[in-house]
Amino acid sequence: MMQFVIAAPRSGSGKTTVTCALLAALKKRGMDPCAFKSGPDYIDPMFHRSVLGVESHNLDLYLSAKNTVRELYAHYTAGHGAVVCEGAMGFYDGQGLTTRASAWELADALDLPVLLVVQPKGASVTLAAEIQGLVHFKPESHIAGILLNDCSEKLFRMLKPLLETETGLPVLGYLPRLPQAMVESRHLGLKTAGEITDLAQKIGLLADALEANLDWATLEALTERPAPAPVPPPALQTAGVRIAVAQDKAFCFAYAETLDCLRTAGAELVFFSPVHDTALPEDICGLYLPGGYPELYARPLSENKTMRDAIRDAVNGGLPTVAECGGFLYLGQTLEDASGTAWPMAGVLPGKGVKVGRLVRFGYADMTAKADSLLFHAGEHLYIHEFHHWDSTDNGSGFSVWKSEKVQWECGFASMSLYAGFPHLYWAGTPLPRRFVSGAKFYQRQKRNTHD
């Protein structure tokens, strides 16, 4: 099985472009690839899924224990012929000024070879020095080869012998500049895959270009590894409860692993759109409002008053509800759009969503629950992640968050039927799915007793 990590010296090197091109080319070759993303990124896996037509998954060594990451990797690679893991940021860049949760730490934890994506802009011999520094920074870097991105054929032929001589690494090929295949960005990175109408054509162009300019035999020789030992499938529960999950262009940041864990815990997930639907799904016993871009769709969300009222009444009526980041903003009183216009939202929580224009409380942190609630026990810790350019006038005080000795804050609303806050939670390997489903089951029994 071909297995490797795609990494780069820094952000902006084209890791996602190269990863999507590789996945499309591997699929075209009949390799049946699967994909992973290092870190808490929601957007890049959407691109992987658009290429593959199957799920891509996150592997995060800050949010998850090493054993959990290894189990998830083994579980989701089963039955596939190739595995491509896309790194985040620079190769050694992790939480804060450490290598924790970096692409290097993931490669090290899974013992995977690394293909280093390098953009040869304005440098030649210096590139060799930079790559040598990356190779020797750790006793085992796992770097096995180099791929040049945004590179002409002429420059590739000049640099290949130089880099191979100076670094001892094979230069496996190059991806030329393709302006017609560029993907637009915005404040949270790339636009989501669903917003790009010609994405399939763009990725097709990239895959064809890479197919023609990559040494596939050498890549296979460098990355061939025994398939991970299979892990026993989790025992499926039979709770028999329906949980509504918001899923549309405004709410698109849900980890695939979280949804799978909820199913394993016994939930039947029913997807709906707060933008377009006028009513919640029938017979639900739980509600999950994940993150996304509600600020970009504040007007249609607000104008769908029937749905806003339905969600307000359901949450106030005790429906077990989890609302993360964008979902948290939706439950507030109002939400400003990109122009600063405030639109009425569900009105469950006291805060108003406001545009800040910069990242707020960005990054990993450690969250501690102050009291027992739907998802947490008092004093319990969970690692979380925040990434947003909007804030709330009332972030709640149900949890204490520690980022560093100098950076700490309170956030979140919690009760026996609610979790709502900016922090994104990673549910795999935690008791959260079981607790949410248990809360939904309790709600179901109460509802039946009321009707009897």
Residues involved in catalysis: 325
Q: Residue 348's closest CA among 323, 372, 373, 325?
A: 323
Amino acid identity for residue 115 in this structure: L
| C-alpha span between 215 and 274 (Å, rounded) | 47
327, 377, 321, 373: which is closest to 353 by C-alpha?
327
10 Å Cβ neighbour count for 139? 5
Q: 333: helix, coil or strand?
A: coil
Burial of 62 (0-12, 13-18, 19+ CB in 10 A): buried
DSSP one-letter string for 168-218 = ---EEEEE---GGG---EETTEEPPGGG-TTHHHHHHHHHHHHHHTB-HHH
d(CA 5, CA 24): 16
End-to-end CA distance of the chain: 57
Query: In terms of Cα–Cα distance, which of 328, 333, 312, 323 is closest to 360?
Result: 328
* Residue 176 tokens, joined: 């030329």
Rounded to 10°, the helix 199-212/43-52 angle is 80
Question: What CA–CA distance (Å, rounded) separates 47 from 194?
Answer: 9
Sign of the CA dihedral with 427 first, then 385, 141, and 131 last: positive
State how far the Cα of 42 lies from the Cα of 57, in Å rounded to an integer: 9
Quickly list H helices, 29-115: 43-52, 66-77, 103-110
Alpha-helical regions (H) of 213-283: 216-223, 256-264
